[in-house]
Amino acid sequence: MTIGRTDDDTSRLNPITKALLLVMFSILVLLVVDPIHMSVIVVCVLVAKEHFHARGLVTRGIIGFAVAIFLAQILFNHSGDDLASWSVFSVTTGGVYDGVSIAGKFLSLIMMSWVFVATTSPSELSSALTTAGFPYRYAFLPALSMRFVPVFQFELATVREAQVTRGMKLDRSVKGIVRSARYTTMPMLMTAMSRVNSITASMTGRGFGMHKTRTQLRPIRMTAWDVAFLASSAVFVGVTFLVTRCPSLQAV
């Protein structure tokens, strides 16, 4: 995934505004229980994901896991009325509704996080947090984490290729996934520790954290556009929540 690439109106938003929007819509997703409304939210999130090209390394795995959640609910959740039955298996309304709701929440939260990462520059996020009053030593942490996302994606691909070269067979079965995780976790952990040690030595050598304040190259402050966007989004989230919870409003 490429981080912070966007040339549309989202580039005008303060990174803190984007983070608050992510929190608000995440809360909305968690509170929605109606499967129809959840389906609409999932479609909107997927459209936003494609619009911003927010594709992760494990997109297929995430979608596959969501499908597995949906199927598990259908197979093992027998609440509600029967829709169909085959031998010992039966499909009920409760299983379908809960499957759509739980899988939709999982997909929406993951995809919205990807959209946030794809539209937010790590350096701008750090600068916005520092300008807002956060200590720069703590404001640097999320930016550093976001910068390491593509690095670890590249390292993971390198480790997997190295294991394949050594004769490890990779397949999409459960056994193959477990085998892949077993032989890639430790190399990735060692790589992460090496990166952390290098960053620590570099920051110590540059005197990072020695002073209470730090001069910013380009301070990023909240604007009237950010406040208006946040206010309108909060109203939208509130109205959407009321509509999903009040049947009388849905009829209107």
Q: pLDDT tens for residues 11-25?
A: 678 999 999 999 999
One domain, residues 104 and 134: no
SS3 state at 170:
coil
pLDDT at residue number 214 = 75
Work out whether the CA dihedral 91, 95, 100, 106 comes out positive or negative: negative
Which domain-ending residue is among 120, 137, 164?
Answer: 120
One domain, residues 139 and 212: yes
What proportion of the chain, given as a percentage, has pLDDT over 90?
15
Q: Residue 243: inside a domain, yes or no?
A: no
One domain, residues 35 and 72: yes
Q: Residue 53: inside a domain, yes or no?
A: yes
Q: Which domain holds residue 115?
A: 14-120
One domain, residues 115 and 154: no
Residue 7 has pLDDT above 80, yes or no: no
pLDDT-derived band at 90 (thresholds 50, 70, 90) equals: confident
One domain, residues 135 and 54: no
| SS3 letters across 40-74 | HHHHHHHHHHHHCCCCCCCHHHHHHHHHHHHHHHH
pLDDT-derived band at 89 (thresholds 50, 70, 90) equals: confident
- What tokens does 84 get? 């169909």
Q: Residue 165: inside a domain, yes or no?
A: yes
Which domain-ending residue is among 102, 120, 138?
Answer: 120
One domain, residues 22 and 115: yes
One domain, residues 196 and 134: yes
Taking residues 66-87, what's their average pLDDT? 84
The structure's pTM equals 0.75
One domain, residues 188 and 113: no
Contact assessment for residue 22 and residue 13, using Cβ atoms and an 8 Å cutoff: no
CA dihedral 206, 211, 212, 216 (to 10 degrees): -50
Q: pLDDT tens for residues 168-224?
A: 777 666 677 777 777 788 888 888 888 888 888 888 887 777 777 777 778 888 889
Please provide the average confidence, as pLDDT, over all residues in the chain: 82
pLDDT-derived band at 230 (thresholds 50, 70, 90) equals: very high
Q: Residue 168: inside a domain, yes or no?
A: yes
Kindly give the interhelix angle for 136-165 and 174-205, rounded to the nearest 10 degrees.
140
Residue 93 has pLDDT above 60, yes or no: yes
Contact assessment for residue 38 and residue 104, using Cβ atoms and an 8 Å cutoff: yes
- Chain CA centroid to CA 28, Å: 15
Residue of 7 and 242 predicted with greater confidence: 242
Q: Residue 194: inside a domain, yes or no?
A: yes
Residues in Cβ contact with 42 at an 8 Å cutoff, skipping those fewer than 6 apart = 104, 107, 108
One domain, residues 71 and 169: no
One domain, residues 155 and 196: yes
